[in-house]
Amino acid sequence: MKKINSILLITSLLAFAACSDVPIASPKKSNTTIPSTFTTKVVLEKYTGEWCGACPSAGQFYSEKKSTDGTQFIGVAIHADDKYANPANEAIYRQLNSNLRHNPDGLSIGFPNVMFNRSKGPNDQVINGFGNSDWSSKFDELKAATVSSGLSLETSITGDTLTAAVKHYHKTALEGNYAITAYLVENELNGSDQVSAGADYKQQHVLRELLTPAGGIPIDATMTDEILSLELSSVDISAYIAGNLEVIAFIHQDGATFSEQAIVNGQIVKAGENQSFD
């Protein structure tokens, strides 16, 4: 995983400034238009690998949801034990106390495994694998929820450098600890090694970089009527095809395990473009 040279957190919480030289600014009113309601986005994170013969079924599910629910669907593919596995993927597995095939905890599940907003599965399971027949109903359940928090994303590319700013706004205070996690994902990757798929198969939504620590950056979600911002800078994208990249950010509970990480809302944008609050 390439190094993110600097992460500047702009917020009013002085507790986030671990060192005196970290710039801290009080949030200010902005001319940015905040919609009367926020669109509910459902973040799907799937565990997959090219060795997994059943995994293209999850890819097909992603394609269907992107086609039918594109304004509410955000997809991520977290690869294990193949050429697209990397430290970013392993950090997410371990941070969620979930299921890297040969992880130190010795846990194992069937692949593909799809998480929906990191919510619990049937029978209060901690691991949200569900099954193919349950995926649509869970997606429909979550997309119907009303949310009071939203995000915007501003990104730009100069040469081989990607910069991004994530803004968040809360109409209603969220009690408890919350954080924002951001990903860089890439589409249209060579999937010729995918078991059970043809030579022209493409891997989509592949997690390439963590743009925040695995557990996210803590935020103050109790503040209302203020736009707060996280800025990420100097992300090297020279190994990727810029036109196939997307930036994803989401607000989630700030907890150590999967069951404490429920996602509140998310946002996605093509790298180099902007997505306002919606």
pLDDT digits (tens, 9 = 90+) for 34-43: 999 999 999 9
Q: Sign of torsion, CA 119 52 99 221? A: negative
Q: Is residue 34 part of a domain?
A: no
Whether pLDDT at 166 is above 80: yes
Residue 64, pLDDT above cutoff 60: yes
CATH number at residue 252: 2.60.40.10
Answer yes or no: is 43 within a domain: yes
With respect to residue 31, please indicate whether it lies within any of the assigned structural domains.
no
Instruction: Tell whether the model's pLDDT for residue 102 goes beyond 50.
Output: no
Averaged pLDDT, 216-224: 93
pLDDT tens string 75-88: 999 998 899 999 88
Flag whether pLDDT at 211 surpasses 80: yes
pLDDT exceeds 50 at position 100: no
| Range with top average pLDDT, 33-37, 112-116, 214-218, 244-248 | 244-248
The pLDDT of residue 107: 46
Report in angstroms the alpha-carbon separations of 91 from 39, 48, 88, 155. Answer: 29, 15, 5, 24
Q: To the nearest whole number, what is the mean pLDDT of the chain?
A: 82
Q: Is residue 27 part of a domain?
A: no
Of 265 and 47, the structure prediction assigns the larger pLDDT to: 265
User: How far is the C-alpha of 125 from the C-alpha of 141, rounded, in Å?
Assistant: 17
Model confidence, pTM: 0.84
Position 133 pLDDT exceeds 80: no
What residues make up the domain containing 251? 4-13+39-275
Report yes or no on 25 lying in a domain.
Answer: no
Amino acid at the residue 211? L
Tokens of 1: 């995983």
Burial class (CB in 10 A: 0-12, 13-18, 19+), 48: buried
Return the pLDDT at 119: 80
> Does some domain include residue 30?
no
What is the predicted pLDDT for the residue at 225?
84
Domains: count for the chain: 1
Per-residue pLDDT at 10: 35
In angstroms, rounded to a whole number, what is the distance separating the alpha carbons of residues 179 and 118? 14
Mean pLDDT of 133-156: 93
Residue 213 lies in a domain: yes
Task: For residue 28, tell me if it sits in a domain.
Answer: no
Q: Tens digit of pLDDT for each residue in 237-274?
A: 999 999 999 999 999 998 776 667 899 999 999 999 99
